[in-house]
Structure 1
């Protein structure tokens, strides 16, 4: 009987070998006051705690548990950031990168794949933070313009890096979690949202995926599509201009305001691209959302745009043109076809050239 008990015990031990477990060690920041760290299944309501560890006097901790083989969150108390941990069997170490942390591993697997993306994203984030600091400290218009272009490049690069990460885990629950966690970036730009949903791919049904798709459908309903709303608005001379006046021509409409710095930078950008837009047969008009006429006139005098300038006027038009065009952020640009259809929202020069050439 004792022999049988030993055999059963041996089988049980084999089933719970260390190869099924992870060990995660680390040291909290010097300013941390956390007394415990937690390994969580998510954030907010419905989150489960899978493991926790007491923080020692030297701020170190050790988390041990059975590998879940899924993406989890390491919560470090008062540390304000999200630390991903894909709990495969093995040894892991908390590592500081830039202003954030990641879970380092010496083995190939999901965590190492994730880290490769996170390190690139953190580098981009640090560069953007430093650049924005420089922008806040300079008053030179030339420097601001140059820094503004670099800031835009870094933002686009950051978006591409995020998409690369989601694509790498396409079709999995990991991809859906990454999209949900970065919704504050993704939902700002519907084009980016669309690309991200495509990159996320089909995957297992979950509340996270359902919530993402509901938000995407809601965002889609807010997009201006189909026939562009006609309008009647005053120009600088007080003469009324209608959208229908441009029938038969491609039209780029720029919604902006004098108080909007990105809008003013966009004007400078459009001035450089205006010649090429004219070559493509595209007319440009600007619609100011300024409430005070004098603010609009002052900005136009300062920036000297060379295309038609209009201003939102509910009394003349009968409605708020910005609302009619579903404008949520400034600046917002629309490319309109010769027959008055909305072709694109916030297009870059390459997108404009592509759309126009493929619609001839």
Structure 2
């Protein structure tokens, strides 16, 4: 599956189930626990300029913590947290401090997005939507509309992914066509919402869905942002997305590698340039110990090293979004024979990486040859290169 498909499947999944659990290959979220605070149980305590979240969750989660993320990036620490008591929890916060939208997160179980607006917001963590305040009610209706529209496309997409009569390239092309059809239909509806809600949370929601959901390049993303009001345009999450797209486009095939430093397994400082641009093709794997798809890719990397290593191929792992002790343990468990660099954040930021595994092939001079290599495409790409290099990598 190519990069655009990975980006767009995120919205397709969101359209069908808007209350998502944590996704394995996405960035793990930090958690900060303050002391438990008293639970506010009554909507009567709501004050002007503030919003009150009345949350509910199955009582088996009593004693666990719910984290609230608001303006700023989801990769930052949560804005607030509270403990579940009697299957209930609350947050009482200032609208002015929290931007346009947030997410409630019960680790590895529930994630519920909501719009920040004055009033009382009902937040059933095991339900599809936050409701009770006007913009949240409109968002729930819009999400249901998207779900109904996308449902048929999801079935077709799943069937195409499982179609063993097609080659991997044919499957990718068929899935791409299905996603293009889906988003061609969704785009006008989301643009209409953005035009009507330029500077509120519903417009922010429509804008972020447009940017991450379509086959978006930087120019198109910027055209979407230009239709929003100034406050939405300046939201840190919108700016972060645009910055990521700029970095992604700056590290496409043909571009020179972007260097960064990290730590080797023995805690010594190393750089990407210690391995890339040294006269050999280098396959670099951005991965994490907790990422299931990353682990599933390891046999393909081992096979590539076995077959193409004698021809000159080098393999390098970049451990990201992880803890040093966890990644070192995974290296031993998986018996990974290639060198590693531990770099928690900078590496993925430089290359505009939003999901892992991400495999990038670099040429002997350090230029990027290909991104998003997976499975059989690794061997196919290397075989094509060998035809032009006299059998040397």
On whether the aligned pair clears a TM of 0.5, the verdict is: no
Which TM-score band (shorter chain)?
Answer: 0.3 to 0.5
Structure with the higher strand share, 1 or 2: 1
**Bigger relative CO (Cα 8 Å, ≥ 6 apart):** 2
Greater radius of gyration (CA): 1
TM-score for both structures, normalised by structure 2: 0.41
TM-score for both structures, normalised by structure 1: 0.44
